[in-house]
């Protein structure tokens, strides 16, 4: 019993959502959305952040129930009563953050989702079945291995196999390539194409236009909760631009289009930043032989050395979980380094406290903006004050100068165009873009010598991303040394003056951000842990 329900014949309608409406307090997340996927089709679901993609997926997964509208599965009207019901009816959703139990094996995880048989557990059989299923679809996993020890790519394959094994004929993948190396991505695409050939209906959620046009045969674009268009993708020139326009809903200023690499011809001479020579002669950040214990298996930072100069923007690229976060936290004084040293303008900052590092001129915007970068239950004023309350600017003796803080916040709100409904509401109510602006305003307020930002535009829409990019460039042009932790290569190419590729806690190489095929291939190789061909200069 490899796949329990047979995939329907090619071309028949597998899913049809009709006038789906789902509301949350204050917003209509899905507004009369119509969406249809045929068996054997790879259908891309596109949209900016907050366009309603996740809500639609969650409705398909049975997690949310729509207030209005109808769901048809294989031309039959149905309601999804919960995740288990959705799985039973053949819908499998693979989220960006995997939902497998880490300390169980792949096969055990699959068994968890099975309803039959009730009491007997034949793990051996499941393991064999999974291996066979994996071979058929280019989704190789080791079924008897504990999930926690698998690589990200393998965990994802396990998720997909689990969905297939539990009988999914409709498979929705939420940003499946977000954390994959280029090679893993390729493997995944092969698997997806093979599944589609067999009659599976694939819903592919992504914001990477390149991938969408190369993989999908149709695309539905969501904007502001509405499905604005469904396009047939034929690989014609101009398709990407058309999609981009539909996603944004207006002519994005050319800057933002450039930002996301939507136009192919990104001028390479874009970074002619005039760096004052006096400044560039000296070092800002110097890291030598740094070792930092990691959170997970591959994230221990090993013997890392590099420099960042004033007026320079260096991007630390690599697949998430290869030590980037640990490195950034060690530099910001939030994690102990076991060996090695860090200096800023010659002053030793190794294992100093977060306050001392901040006082020395290091600003840090962490990746987890709600969980680390802000006290999300407190209001904007408190969050603006969070890192600087001890400075004489905002305090007198043991007392706070609230009036000065309010002035500072007012200035920041104006200067960074932070859209606030209510400055005294908890910060968690801010949109991702506005929260990031607030954090940047706060960190740049102290005129740092070194600015470290982890995934500066993750979760932000195009306009907010463009804004953040401008602010980062501005900080660099004003003479700050900027270190960015980036997972998105497009963004790295766009922003950085130098790229450092990190893999398993080591810096694999230092490359220029040149968008040539050879350079891209090199970066891909380094990110995946192979060393460069000898020809690299």
Partner 1 sequence: MSLRQRAVKELEIQKTLVALPPRQIYPSTAALAVATPVLSVLVALVIAAIILFLSGKDAFFILTEIVHTSFIQNFSETVVKAIPLTLAALGVSLAFRARLWNIGAEGQFYGGVLVATALALGFPGLPAPVIIPLMVAGGLLGGAIWGLLPGLLRAWLDVNEIISSLMLNYVALLLTDYFIFGPWRDPKGFNFPVTATFSDAARLPVLVTNTRIHLGLVFAIIAAALVWLLVSRTKWGFELKVMGDNLKAARYAGINITRNIVIAFLLSGALAGLAGMSEVTGIAGRLQQNLSPGYGYTAIIIAWLARLNPWAIILVAVLFGGLVSSGFTMQRVGVSSGLVTLLQGIVLFCVLGGESLYRRLLYQAALRRSNQGSNQGPDQLKDKES
DSSP 3-state of 305: strand
Q: In angstroms, rounded to a whole number, what is the distance separating the alpha carbons of residues 405 and 410?
A: 8
Q: Which of 223, 358, 458, 506 binds partner 1 (CB under 8 A)?
A: 358
Q: Which of 430, 450, 452, 480 binds partner 1 (CB under 8 A)?
A: 430
- Span from 103-111, 261-269, 365-373, 496-504 in contact with partner 1 (CB under 8 A): 365-373
Q: Which residue is associated with the tokens 């900016």? A: 48
Pair 275, 313: CB distance under 8 Å:
no
- Min dist CB 363 to partner 1, Å, is 11
Q: Which of 374, 455, 465, 522 binds partner 1 (CB under 8 A)?
A: 374
Question: For residues 386-415, which are near partner 1 according to CB under 8 A?
Answer: 386-387, 389-390, 395, 398-400, 402, 406-407, 409-411, 413-415
Q: In angstroms, rounded to a whole number, what is the distance separating the alpha carbons of residues 430 and 423?
A: 10
Nearest 5°: the CA angle 205, 243, 486 is: 55
The answer to whether the bond into 117 is cis (omega within 30° of 0) is yes
**Order of strands across the sheet with 201-205?**
91-94, 170-174, 201-205, 42-46, 218-223, 226-232
Provide DSSP, 438-451.
HHHHHHHHT--SEE
- Min dist CB 512 to partner 1, Å, is 24
Q: In angstroms, rounded to a whole number, what is the distance separating the alpha carbons of residues 246 and 366?
A: 32
Query: What is the pattern of x (binds partner 1, CB under 8 A) and - over residues 334-353?
Result: x------------------x
Question: For residues 11-30, which are near partner 1 according to CB under 8 A?
Answer: 25-27
Pair 222, 57: CB distance under 8 Å:
no
Question: Does 165 participate in binding partner 1 (rule CB under 8 A)?
Answer: no
Q: In angstroms, rounded to a whole number, what is the distance separating the alpha carbons of residues 352 and 121?
A: 54
Q: Are strands 218-223 and 42-46 parallel, antiparallel or unpaired?
A: parallel
H helices, E strands: number in the chain: 18, 22
Q: Give the burial class of 520: count Cβ atoms within 10 A of its Cβ; 0-12 exposed, 13-18 middle, 19 or more buried.
A: middle
For 295, phi and psi rounded to 5 degrees?
-70, -45
Q: Which residue is associated with the tokens 């110097």? A: 286
Question: For residues 479-508, which are near partner 1 according to CB under 8 A?
Answer: 479
Question: For residues 272-331, which are near partner 1 according to CB under 8 A?
Answer: 274, 276
- Min dist CB 400 to partner 1, Å, is 6
For 143, phi and psi rounded to 5 degrees?
-65, -25
Q: In angstroms, rounded to a whole number, what is the distance separating the alpha carbons of residues 333 and 537?
A: 35
Q: Calculate the alpha carbon distances from 295 to 150, 224, 322, 323 in Å.
A: 15, 37, 10, 8
Query: What is the pattern of x (binds partner 1, CB under 8 A) and - over residues 212-251?
Result: ----------------------------------------
**C-beta of 9 vs 396, nearer to partner 1:** 396
Q: In angstroms, rounded to a whole number, what is the distance separating the alpha carbons of residues 141 and 110?
A: 13
Question: Does 53 participate in binding partner 1 (rule CB under 8 A)?
Answer: no
How many chain residues touch partner 1 (CB under 8 A)?
A: 65
Supply the DSSP symbol for 6: P
- Span from 63-71, 184-192, 216-224, 421-429 in contact with partner 1 (CB under 8 A): 421-429
- Span from 54-62, 155-163, 292-300, 471-479 in contact with partner 1 (CB under 8 A): 471-479
Question: Does 447 participate in binding partner 1 (rule CB under 8 A)?
Answer: no
Question: Does 64 participate in binding partner 1 (rule CB under 8 A)?
Answer: no
**C-beta of 255 vs 305, nearer to partner 1:** 255
- Min dist CB 341 to partner 1, Å, is 21
Q: Which of 40, 47, 366, 513 binds partner 1 (CB under 8 A)?
A: 366
Q: Which of 355, 393, 516, 536 binds partner 1 (CB under 8 A)?
A: 355
Question: Does 531 participate in binding partner 1 (rule CB under 8 A)?
Answer: no
Q: Which of 10, 111, 320, 429 binds partner 1 (CB under 8 A)?
A: 429
Q: Which of 10, 63, 266, 376 binds partner 1 (CB under 8 A)?
A: 376
- Which residues form the interface with partner 1 (CB under 8 A)? 25-27, 253, 255, 274, 276, 332-334, 353-355, 358, 364, 366, 368, 371-378, 382, 385-387, 389-390, 395, 398-400, 402, 406-407, 409-411, 413-415, 417-426, 429-431, 434, 466-467, 470, 474, 477-479
């Amino acid at each position: 019993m490899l796949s329990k329900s047979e995939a329907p014949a090619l071309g028949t309608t597998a899913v049809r959502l009709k006038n789906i409406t789902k509301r949350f307090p204050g917003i209509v997340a899905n507004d009369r959305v119509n969406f249809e996927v045929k068996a054997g089709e790879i259908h891309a679901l596109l949209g900016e952040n907050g366009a309603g993609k996740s809500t639609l997926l969650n409705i398909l997964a049975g997690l949310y129930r729509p207030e209005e509208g109808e769901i048809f599965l294989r031309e039959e009207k149905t309601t999804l009563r919960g995740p288990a019901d959705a799985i039973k009816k053949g819908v499998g959703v693979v989220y960006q953050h995997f939902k497998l139990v880490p300390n169980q094996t792949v096969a055990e995880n699959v068994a968890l989702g099975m309803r039959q048989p009730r009491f007997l557990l034949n793990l051996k059989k499941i393991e064999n079945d999974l291996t066979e299923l994996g071979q058929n679809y280019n989704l190789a996993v080791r079924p008897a291995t504990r999930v926690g020890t698998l690589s990200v790519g393998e965990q994802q394959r396990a998720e997909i196999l689990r969905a297939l094994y539990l009988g999914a004929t409709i498979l929705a993948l939420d940003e499946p390539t977000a954390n994959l190396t280029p090679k893993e991505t390729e493997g995944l695409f092969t698997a997806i194409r093979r599944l589609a050939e067999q009659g599976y209906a694939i819903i592919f959620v992504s914001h990477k236009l390149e991938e969408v046009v190369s993989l999908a045969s149709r695309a539905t674009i969501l904007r502001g909760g509405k499905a604005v268009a469904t396009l047939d993708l034929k690989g014609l020139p101009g398709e990407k631009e058309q999609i981009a326009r539909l996603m944004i809903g207006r002519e994005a200023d050319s800057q933002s289009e450039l930002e996301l690499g939507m136009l192919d011809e990104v001028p390479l001479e874009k970074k002619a930043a005039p760096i004052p020579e006096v400044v560039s002669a000296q070092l800002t950040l110097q890291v030598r032989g740094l070792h930092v214990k990691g959170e997970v298996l591959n994230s221990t930072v090993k013997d890392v050395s590099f420099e960042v100069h004033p007026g320079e923007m260096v991007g630390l690229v690599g697949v998430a979980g290869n030590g980037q976060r640990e490195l950034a936290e060690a530099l910001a004084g939030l994690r102990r380094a076991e060996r090695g040293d860090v200096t800023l303008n010659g002053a030793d900052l190794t294992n100093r406290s977060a306050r001392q590092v901040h006082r020395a001129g290091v600003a840090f915007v962490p990746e987890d903006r709600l969980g680390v970068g802000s006290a999300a239950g407190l209001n904007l004023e408190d969050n603006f004050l969070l890192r600087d309350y001890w400075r004489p600017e905002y305090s007198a003796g043991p007392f706070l100068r609230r009036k000065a803080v309010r002035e500072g916040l007012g200035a920041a709100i104006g200067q960074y165009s932070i859209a606030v409904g209510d400055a005294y509401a908890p910060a968690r109510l801010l949109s991702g873009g506005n929260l990031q602006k607030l954090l940047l305003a706060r960190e740049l307020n102290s005129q740092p010598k070194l600015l470290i930002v982890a995934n500066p535009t993750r979760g932000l829409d195009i306009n907010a991303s463009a804004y953040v990019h401008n602010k980062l460039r501005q900080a660099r042009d004003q003479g700050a040394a900027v270190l960015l932790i980036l997972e998105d290569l497009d963004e790295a190419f766009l922003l950085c003056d130098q790229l450092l590729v990190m893999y398993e806690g080591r810096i694999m190489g230092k490359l220029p951000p040149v968008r040539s095929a050879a350079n891209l291939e090199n970066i891909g190789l380094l990110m995946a842990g192979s060393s460069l061909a000898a020809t690299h200069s």
